[in-house]
Amino acid sequence: MKPIKVGLLGLGTVGTGVVRIVEGHQEDLVMQTGSPLKIEKVLVKDRSKARNISVSEDKLTEDPWEIIYNEDIDVVVEVMGGIEPAKTYILEALARGKHVVTANKDLMALHGQEILAKAADKSCDVFYEASVAGGIPIIRTLIEGFASDRITKIMGIVNGTTNYILTKMSQEGVSYEEVLKEAQQLGYAEADPTSDVEGLDAARKMTILATLGFNVQVSLDDVSVRGISSISKEDILYGQKLGYEVKLLGIAECRDDSISVTVQPTMVKKSHPLASVNGVFNAVYVYGEAVGETMFYGPGAGELPTATSIVADLVAVAKNQNLGVSGRRLFTPYKEKKLKSDEQVDYKNFILLHVEDDPGVLAKIAKVFAEHEVSLESVLQQPNPHNPKAEIIIITHDANQASMKKVLEDFQTLDVVHKVKSVYRVEG
């Protein structure tokens, strides 16, 4: 049996996991693919660095072109991260007829179309299961598992760092700043956490999921993004009192061939399965017209969960190569992109207002909602000994974004409203 030879770009946490699984599961991999998988070369920054895995010295290289230009290598696995030089290496590998497996969500979200076009031109495979939700096989599921269905909504927790922070705030009543510092110390958050906490990481993942789910080429600019840095302990406490947990959700919807994609903190009803997804775990909820509601849950990051997805892609590459069908399973969006307007996007809203504690205040507030045809599901006045103003929590029925924007604009000029403290989408 001729081995499938692999060139690995990167030997960090995930790269180490790939080596462990390939070398430790060789018998199973041969049974699945018909060929041994062999790590031929590994790109590292420093060959002399001490590592927690044993890799033969002759397999290590500091020169990426020893992998890209090596005619014996069949597959290039990219686990470096970042846009460049990863993009250059991948495109050059494809140009030389090599298949590619990558975990690079940033690259696939921003340049996936170019990479897949190059792969199609060269009849090569490009797989990127590990780019979204770590060990959860959500990409393969969307492409293959839902091939006979029409997906109407994808909603999920796709960033473990923010989910860890919000879980800690909810369960221990601590502030955002305190939990962020702890997450950085534990290695869950980067020294510069902007990409995670401001929703950019989740937005890139939702770009990929929406493109696959709706067969439309979605770009990062199409995603409305809001992070978690402004969430307060009070917001979480009030949500809990009303039966909600705050989660950073990516939500992609398709109705009448028009789509919307958003990442935002959301009040999730405690009875909904996503409300109980805690810590660094991820979960993706998929709605299909035929199958109904399904949920996929698991670790969203880490050495072995992410490496498992990468090796699963290696297995797919090997199978295709042995069957002579490489490059035929590439995903190509075929529908025209039509984005929903603000008038077409509707959902329930949670609104926390600081208002004057006087008679007639509720009537004035209700009048604003009525003027913009937004109906109310519930209204709660909550005493707060630390706030001399009255605090009113309002849950609306489904209201379109255009109307809600007008309501919030009117509140800015309404004399009885001291402050619009918080506004959140409500799901479940």
**167 and 284: one domain?**
yes
Output the CA–CA distances (angstroms, integers) from residue 211 to 42, 99, 100, 143, in the order listed: 32, 22, 20, 10
- 278 in the same domain as 143: yes
For tokens 């879980």, the residue is: 167
According to the model, what pLDDT value does residue 36 have?
A: 93
Give the separation between CA 198 and CA 170, rounded to whole angstroms. 19
Region of 81 (left: φ > 0; alpha: ψ -120 to 50; beta: rest) is left
155 lies in the same domain as 79: no
pLDDT for the residue 198: 97
Q: Show the tokens assigned to 262.
A: 């958003």
158 and 280 assigned to the same domain: yes
Residues 399 and 362 in one domain: yes
Residue 337: inside a domain, yes or no? Answer: no
Provide CB contacts within 8 A for 157, sequence distance 6+. 163, 247, 248, 249, 250, 274, 277, 281, 282, 283, 284, 300
Q: Is residue 226 part of a domain?
A: yes
- Is 331 domain-assigned? no
Q: Are both 354 and 284 inside the same structural domain?
A: no
User: Which of 262, 283, 299 is the last residue before a domain boundary?
Assistant: 299
Into how many domains does the chain fold? 3
CATH number at residue 391: 3.30.70.260
Could you say which of 205, 247, 348, 421 is catalytic? 205
Do 226 and 275 share a domain, yes or no?
yes
Domain assignment of residue 329, yes or no: no
162 with 264, same domain: the answer is yes
* Residue 332 counted as domain residue: no
Give the CATH number, domain containing residue 94: 3.40.50.720
Indicate whether 126 and 179 sit together in one domain.
no
Q: Where a domain ends, among 299, 331, 359?
A: 299
Structure tokens at 136: 């959860």
- Quote the pLDDT of residue 108: 96
The answer to whether position 334 is within a domain reads no
Tell me the average confidence (pLDDT) per consecutive run of 10 residues in the chain, 428 residues long: 93 94 94 93 92 91 97 97 96 98 96 95 96 92 93 97 96 94 88 95 97 96 97 94 96 96 98 95 96 93 89 95 86 92 97 92 96 95 77 96 97 94 96
Q: Assess whether the previous peptide bond of 85 is cis (omega < 30° from 0).
A: yes
Nearest to 99 by CA among 67, 71, 130, 77: 77
pTM score, whole prediction:
0.93
CATH of residue 161's domain is 3.30.360.10
Q: Is residue 385 part of a domain?
A: yes
Asked if 233 is an active-site residue, the reply is: no
340 domain-assigned:
no
Name the 3-class secondary structure at 279: coil
Q: Is residue 244 located within the same domain as residue 262?
A: yes
Examine the domain organization and report whether 310 and 273 are in the same domain.
Answer: no
Measured CA to CA, the distance from residue 314 to residue 77 in angstroms comes to: 8
Identify the pLDDT of residue 414.
Answer: 95
Q: Could you list the residue range(s) of the whole structural domain that residue 223 is in?
A: 138-299
Judgement on whether residues 143 and 113 belong to the same structural domain of the protein:
no
Check residue 189 and give its pLDDT. 86
